[in-house]
Structure 1
Amino acid sequence: MTLADRHPSTPDASPRVPPARPRRIAKRPPLTRAQTVLRGVVLAIGALAFLFPFYYMVIGSLQTQPDPTVAGAFPHPSNLTLENYSAIDSRIGLLTGLLNSGIFTVGVLACTIVFGVLVGYALAVLQWRGRGVTFALALLVQVVPFQLLIIPLYVLIARDYGLSDNYLGMILPFAINSTAVIIFRQYFLQLPKELFEAARIDGTGEFRLLWNIALPLVRPALVTALLLTFIGPWNEFLWPFLITKEASMQPLAVSLANYISNVAATAANPFGATLAGAVVLAAPVVLLFIVFQRYFISTDVGSSVKG
C-alpha cells in the first residue's frame, strides 16, 4: 500500500473563487488637434471678455478727453495722461481714503480670524451642550440680509454707544463673520481626533493645542477666510456711509460715491476722474487675488499625519 492509499486526499468542500480581475479605468481618448485649438480659442475669448472691463477702466482713467465709443478702448498715446488721478486726489484725497479703507478692512479681518478660529474650533473639536444649536444659528445668520439689521445697529452703535465717526463703530457690525466660522469648523473637522487626544494625554491645554497643532494644519482655511472676507469691508459702502459724516473718516468707496454725486459734475473730465478712483479702489483687491490665488486650492490635511 502506498502512502497515497493510506492518506487519500479529500477534496476541498468550499468552491474555489477565481481571483477578481482588476477593474480597468476607462481612459478618455486624447484630444485631437482641432479640439485642442477650439478649447484654447474658447478659453481665450472667455478670458478677454472677463478682462476687458478692467482694461477699459484703466484706459478710461488715463484719457485726457473721454471717448465712450468702441474706439476709446484703443486711444492715441497723445490722449493718455495721469491728470485724472491728480484731479480726484485733490478733491477727495486718495491716500486718506485708502488709509481709512485699510484700517476698516484690517480691523474686520483681525476680528474675523480671531473669533472665527475660536468659534470654529469650539464647534468642531470641543464637546459641550448646545453645540448643534449654535451651529444651526450660524447657518441661519447666512439667510438674514444685513439691510434688515442696519437700522437697529445704527441706533445701537451711533446713539447708544456714541461710536459714529469712529473706526470701532465701523468695525463692530462685521466683527464676527458666520462664513468664516463655518469655514474653520469644516477644516477642523477634517483633522484626525487622535491628534487632540494624544495632546490632551500629554497635558496640553486647549489654547496651546489650538495654537501649536490645529492652526498649522489649517493654513489654507486662514488664507481662504482672509481673501473671502477682504472683499466685503474693502468695498463696503452702506454702513460706513451711515456711520461716518466727516470726510476725513470715510473709506475710499464712500468718498468716491460722494465725489460722483456732488463734485463730478463740475470736474473737467468727470468720466476719467471717476474711473481713476475706481482703479485705485480695485487695484489692491486684484493684486491680492493674483498673489494668493493658489491658496484657494484645498489640501488634504490628513496626509500630513504619519501613521
Structure 2
Amino acid sequence: MSRAAIILRGIVLGVGAVVFLFPFYYMIVGSLQTDPDPTIAGAIPNPSNLTLENYTNVNDRINLWTSLVNSGIFTGGVLLGTIVFGVLAGYAMAMLQWRGQKATFALAVLVQVIPFQLLQIPLYVLIARDYGLSDNYLGMILPFLINSTATVIFRQYFLQLPRELFEAARIDGAGEFRLLWSVGLPLVRPALVTGVLLTFIGPWNEFLWPFLITKDASKQPLAVSLANYISNVAASTDNPFGAILAGAVVLAAPVVVLFIVFQRYFVSTDLGSGVKG
C-alpha cells in the first residue's frame, strides 16, 4: 500500500473508533455529573461538576455488590454448562463416528432459529411449578445450561484439528476423554475463550427470564435490579439522568473489560503448535 493509502486507512479507522467509543465515553461522563448536561457540550465535563454520588444513590437502593454476586453466580453457572456440554458435544460431532451424527448437528443449528421467548411460558411452568426452583440460582441457570451456538463453534474448531494427532494418541492407548483433555483442549483455546465471551454477554444482560423466575430482590441479578431501580426509583432522585447512566456503566463495564482483554483470541489460532515443522 502507498503511504497515502496507509494514512487514509488510519484516519478512517480512527474516526470509526471515535464514533464507536463516544457513547461509552458519554455514558461514563454522564454518570459522574452532579448536574446533568444532556447536550453535546456535556461531553467535556467541568471538574467541579463531577461526583460519585450517582453510584452511591444506586448502591443505597439496590445493593450493587449483592446484585453483582447474583449476576456472577448466574453467569458462571451458564458458562460452566456451556463449556462442559459444548466441548463434549462438539468433540463428539467432529471426531467420533456414530449413527445420527449429521442429523444431530442439523438440529443443533436449527434450534438457534427458535426464539427463547417462545419457550419461556412452558419453561416457567416446568421449573417454577414442577421443579419448585423459583427464587433459586439453579432455576435461573437451567434454561441456559446448554448453548447450541457454542456447540457449533467447538465442532467447527475440532474439525480443523489434524486427525493424525488423535490417531497417534489412540495408537498409544489413549481413551477419548484423555484425547479430549490432552490433545483437543490445548489446541482449541481460542474457541474456548470465544465461547466464553459470546456466552457471557447473554446471561449477564439477561432480564426477562430472571425477572420471571425471581421475586426475591436478594436473588435478582444486576440487570433485573437495575431495571427495577430505573422503573420505580430513579425518577424520584435528584439526578435521574445520572443515576440511570451510573447503573448502565456498572452493567456494561465487565463486558467491555472482558472484550478488551481477550479480543485477540477471536482471531488467533494455536493449531500450528500441535504440528512439528
- So what's the TM-score if we normalise by structure 2? 0.97
Give the length in aligned residue pairs: 277
After superposition, the Cα gap between the structure-2 partners of 1:36 and 1:298, relative to the gap in structure 1 and judged at 3 Å, is closer
After superposition, the Cα gap between the structure-2 partners of 1:208 and 1:60, relative to the gap in structure 1 and judged at 3 Å, is same
Matches within 5 A, 1:158-197: 158-197=128-167
Quick check: which has more Rg, 1 or 2? 1
Confirm or deny: 8 A CA contact 1:190 1:302 kept in the other structure.
no
What secondary structure does 1:142 align onto? Answer: helix
User: 1:279 — aligned with what?
Assistant: 249
Confirm or deny: 8 A CA contact 1:192 1:302 kept in the other structure.
no
Confirm or deny: 8 A CA contact 2:140 2:213 kept in the other structure.
yes
Alpha-carbon RMSD across the aligned residues, in angstroms, is: 1.3
- So what's the TM-score if we normalise by structure 1? 0.87
**C-alpha displacement at 1:303, in angstroms?**
5.8
Match of 2:2 among 20, 28, 31: 31
Provide, for residues 56-92 of structure 1, a one-character-per-residue CA deviation record: whole Å limited to 9, x for no partner.
1000000001111111111211111010000010001
**C-alpha displacement at 1:306, in angstroms?**
2.3
Counterpart residue type for residue 221 of structure 1: A
Q: Which runs of 5+ in 1 are unaligned?
A: 1-29
- Choose between structure 1 and 2: higher helix proportion: 2
Q: Aligned pair 1:288/2:258, yes or no? A: yes
After superposition, the Cα gap between the structure-2 partners of 1:81 and 1:121, relative to the gap in structure 1 and judged at 3 Å, is same
Counterpart residue type for residue 117 of structure 1: V
Percent of aligned positions with the same letter in both sequences? 79
Provide, for residues 22-67 of structure 1, a one-character-per-residue CA deviation record: whole Å limited to 9, x for no partner.
xxxxxxxx3243x333322222211111011000100000000111
User: 1:156 — aligned with what?
Assistant: 126
Q: Which runs of 5+ in 2 are unaligned?
A: none
User: 2:43 — aligned with what?
Assistant: 73
Confirm or deny: 8 A CA contact 2:79 2:196 kept in the other structure.
yes
Match of 1:257 among 214, 217, 227: 227
How far apart in 2 are the matches of 1:48 and 1:192?
42
Counterpart residue type for residue 131 of structure 2: Y
**C-alpha displacement at 1:300, in angstroms?**
5.7
Match of 2:75 among 95, 105, 127: 105
What secondary structure does 2:233 align onto? Answer: helix
**C-alpha displacement at 1:193, in angstroms?**
1.7
How far apart in 2 are the matches of 1:217 and 1:37?
37
Confirm or deny: 8 A CA contact 1:191 1:302 kept in the other structure.
no
Range moving further from structure 2, 143-152 or 37-46: 37-46
User: 2:200 — aligned with what?
Assistant: 230
User: 2:94 — aligned with what?
Assistant: 124
Provide, for residues 229-287 of structure 1, a one-character-per-residue CA deviation record: whole Å limited to 9, x for no partner.
11111111111111110111111110000011111121111111111111111111111
How far apart in 2 are the matches of 1:176 and 1:268?
44
How far apart in 1 are the matches of 2:13 and 2:186?
36
Confirm or deny: 8 A CA contact 2:189 2:270 kept in the other structure.
no
How far apart in 2 are the matches of 1:224 and 1:36?
30
Confirm or deny: 8 A CA contact 1:113 1:226 kept in the other structure.
yes
User: 2:176 — aligned with what?
Assistant: 206
Counterpart residue type for residue 250 of structure 1: Q
What secondary structure does 2:113 align onto? Answer: coil
